[in-house]
Amino acid sequence: MTAARGPAVVLPGEDGSRPGMVDPWLADPVAAATVTEVDTVVGRDVAAWWRDPATAPDPVATHLEVVVTGIAGLRSLLARGLQPVVVAGHGVGEYAALVGAGALPLDQVVELVHWRAELLSLAPRPSCAGLAAVLGHDAAAVAREAIAVAGVNGPLCLAALDAPERAVLAGGRAELAHAAEVVRAAGLDLVRLPGRAPCGGPLVQSVSAHLATALADLDWSVPLVPVVPNADAEPTRDPDRLAAALRRHLTAPVLWEATTRALTGLGATSVIEVGATPVLGPFVHQVHPSLPVCLATGPAALTPAEIRGPALAGSLLPT
């Protein structure tokens, strides 16, 4: 049997959050109904909450908005006939991918993402620790060199392998400062990611431990298309494997470059990113320069004619 071919959908995480990013989708009844459901779960008008620029520093608001926008946007596209062969999300965007693929219910994920963001306050503050991106040729090798140089001086680890020219380090302020010296000596750049908790390593182990009970209580279903988890980049429709990967999600590095390679292995002939601005598309382009990538910022921003590849039988949403 010939493997199905068609578009992949990717959903950004924390880096893709923008105030008011859900607003363009509210013109679509399917997306608007999703946001209304979230209003009920959260107990407030979330779109009004999110469009307020004052909420930008609040991780609860920003994490929820990027997750719910991903779900609402994907549901809108599905209702218009999009039939992906695979779905993946980066960082907290993995929760949106799991809901969009039908593996987890929306209400449970909204509550979990809300609590997860609150628990990240238990992690070291951004003034003490955080994330920094290594940018340039062979970024992963240079990042590993910085980790080796750090040695026993303090926690420093790979938080994400996003693309050939981007790897992310998590560590304390002093360790990241020392890493900057190694990175710049190699001719690359190290850029701090402002306001980000040091996810992807031991500095958030306490948060992961607090989430364990809630993760164990999730109601899993078999998704209708494979989801590619951040923790292992192994596409699967097995709820047990998806649950195991989600338990490691906060403390394991995001293997996004490997995820991008897995998309084409599953038959992806194009990639659609649901978000306000390109975040994952540039990473995909580094790995697959000839693979078409589209950005869906609202229901009118991507037409079915731009979705390349034959449709996959079935739908991500019940009809």
Note the pLDDT tens digit of each residue in 97-141.
999 999 999 999 999 999 999 999 777 776 689 999 999 999 999
Residue showing tokens 């509550």 = 111
Q: What is the CATH number for 183?
A: 3.30.70.250
Residue 94 is encoded by which pair of tokens? Answer: 């993995």
Residues 271 and 248 in one domain: yes
Distance CA 305, CA 123 (A): 45
Q: Is 46 within a domain?
A: yes
User: Average pLDDT, stretch 36-56?
Assistant: 94
Residue 217 is encoded by which pair of tokens? Answer: 């209580």
User: Average pLDDT, stretch 155-183?
Assistant: 95
Q: Provide CB contacts within 8 A for 68, sequence distance 6+.
A: 22, 34, 35, 38, 46, 96, 110
Residues 187 and 147 in one domain: yes
Q: What is the CATH number for 10?
A: 3.40.366.10
Amino acid (1-letter code) at residue 83 = Q
Distance CA 287, CA 304 (A): 25
Instruction: Tell me if 34 sits within 8 A of 47, measured CB to CB.
Output: no
User: Average pLDDT, stretch 257-278?
Assistant: 96
What is the secondary structure of the chain as a DSSP string? -PPP-EEEEEE--GGG--TTTTGGGGGSHHHHHHHHHHHHHHTS-HHHHHH-GGGTT-HHHHHHHHHHHHHHHHHHHHHTT---SEEEE-TTHHHHHHHHTTSS-HHHHHHHHHHHHHHGGGSPPTTTEEEEEEESTTHHHHHHHHHHHHGGGS-EEEEEEEETTEEEEEEEHHHHHHHHHHHHHTT-EEEEETT----SSGGGHHHHHHHHHHHHT------SS-B--TTT---B--HHHHHHHHHTTTTS-B-HHHHHHHHHHTTEEEEEEESSS-SSHHHHHHH-TTS-EEEE-STTSS-GGG--SPPPSS-SS--
Residues 46 and 138 in one domain: no
Residues 36 and 16 in one domain: yes
Residue 228 is encoded by which pair of tokens? Answer: 């590619």
Instruction: Tell me if 132 sits within 8 A of 176, measured CB to CB.
Output: yes
Distance CA 77, CA 10 (A): 13
Tell me the pLDDT band of 150, cut-offs 50, 70 and 90. Answer: confident
How many domains are contained in the chain?
Answer: 2
CB-based burial label for 219 (10 Å; 0-12, 13-18, 19+):
exposed
Q: Is 48 within a domain?
A: yes
Tell me the pLDDT band of 66, cut-offs 50, 70 and 90. Answer: very high
Residues 33 and 79 in one domain: yes
Residue 289 is encoded by which pair of tokens? Answer: 């320069």
Distance CA 262, CA 88 (A): 10
Asked if pLDDT for residue 204 goes beyond 80, the answer is: yes
Asked if pLDDT for residue 314 goes beyond 50, the answer is: no
Give the max Cα distance, the chain: 57
Q: Which residue segment(s) compose the domain that 87 sits in?
A: 6-122+204-306
Output the pLDDT for position 215.
Answer: 97
Residues 210 and 169 in one domain: no
Q: Is 97 within a domain?
A: yes
User: Average pLDDT, stretch 65-86?
Assistant: 95
Q: Which residue, 295, 230, 242, is CA-closest to 91?
A: 230
